[in-house]
Amino acid sequence: MADDDVATRAPESDAKESSIISSEDTPAQKGASMGEHCVTDRPSRAFLHLLIFHFNLAERKIALGDQQPSGEISKIADVEVYITKPSDYPHLPSKLLLFLSSGTGIHSKNNQLQADKYASEGFLVVMPDQFAGDPAPNSATDPNADEQNPSIIEKVKMGFATTAKFFMVDMWLARQTPEKVLPILQKVVEGAKEEFADAVANGGGVYAVGYCFGGKYVCLLAAELPDSAAHGQAPLKDEEAGMAKAAPLIKVGALAHGTLVTIEDLQAIKSPISMVCVENDQLFPDDVRTAGQSHLEENNIKHEVKVYSGVPHGFAVVGEYEDPRIQEAQKEAFEQMVEWLKSH
């Protein structure tokens, strides 16, 4: 069911090493959409380096004790999904929650356990494969290389491996566009509304949470997008075209340490939104966050933003940290998101 080798925890060592990357090295998040990524928004080598630190966790077996996911892999509208339900459902009413994962996808044990936590809070959780079978690429290095004291040959090999990693991650990013992902999410939402109509009716709509890459799409689902965007068509940029906009697909959203979120993503939000953010997060820069927050305040969009310091990107997803400060922040972030969902 779950892949124990796929994890989303960011070890403190990775966080410290990646912190040397300046926010000036990250790709422009103020204008270009991911749909324009292939042409106008190529990420810098430093930005890819930071992502590789994050994706490298997928090759580390994380000790999670005896915890095992309680849900199951299924399909909704021909899209693979992980579904986890409250133990007392359907005897007691529930609410439908769309869980959008990080790049490690629905087969990550950590992501499944994180989804299970929301089920334990009374939500019927659907985690779709938003990457269509194309999760973040494997970033493991040669296991036979002596990284502590590599030979010249091993150094050359590691150099080639690093270049290959950059290329693979760059190409993966180029494939993950709203034009690809939004139609998948729309199909799942429509299918889940039909299959779990009772949960949708009980909650008065669909709720959503997102982590890392999933956080960007919570923003998009909470927005009034051009009707064409949800069907895989790139929207026209001519504002005078008067394109019809669809209502947000979700009633309420919450996200943690979003990745590649732009100011425009935040400015388009219409549904109530809660954001768990990381201080000095190069994957969600402070200037993008503050500009978006100002817009939400000026336009009276219900929102809350909490910035956590001394924690790495990805800290809010289930994982075993040694630092008690990160453990406490992880607990607090989950409580923040759950309380927001339950109160709206």
Q: What average pLDDT does the segment 95-108 reach? A: 95
Where is pLDDT greater, at 216 or 166?
A: 216
Percentage of the chain beyond pLDDT 90 is 58
All residues at 6 or more sequence positions from 273 whose CB lies less than 8 Å from its CB, including other chains: 218, 219, 222, 252, 253, 254, 255, 296, 301, 302, 303, 304
Contact 330, 323 (CB under 8 A): no
pLDDT in tens, 230-264: 555 554 454 445 567 789 999 999 999 999 999 99
pLDDT in tens, 78-101: 999 999 999 999 999 999 999 999
Q: What pLDDT sits at residue 305?
A: 98
Residue 238: CB atoms within 10 A of its CB come to 8
- Rounded alpha-carbon distances, angstroms, from residue 317 to 107, 117, 326: 14, 10, 11
pLDDT in tens, 115-159: 999 999 999 999 999 999 999 886 333 333 344 555 444 544 455
Average pLDDT, the chain: 80
* Confidence category of residue 48, pLDDT binned at 50, 70, 90: low
Q: What pLDDT sits at residue 63?
A: 47
Assigned token pair, 145: 């290389």
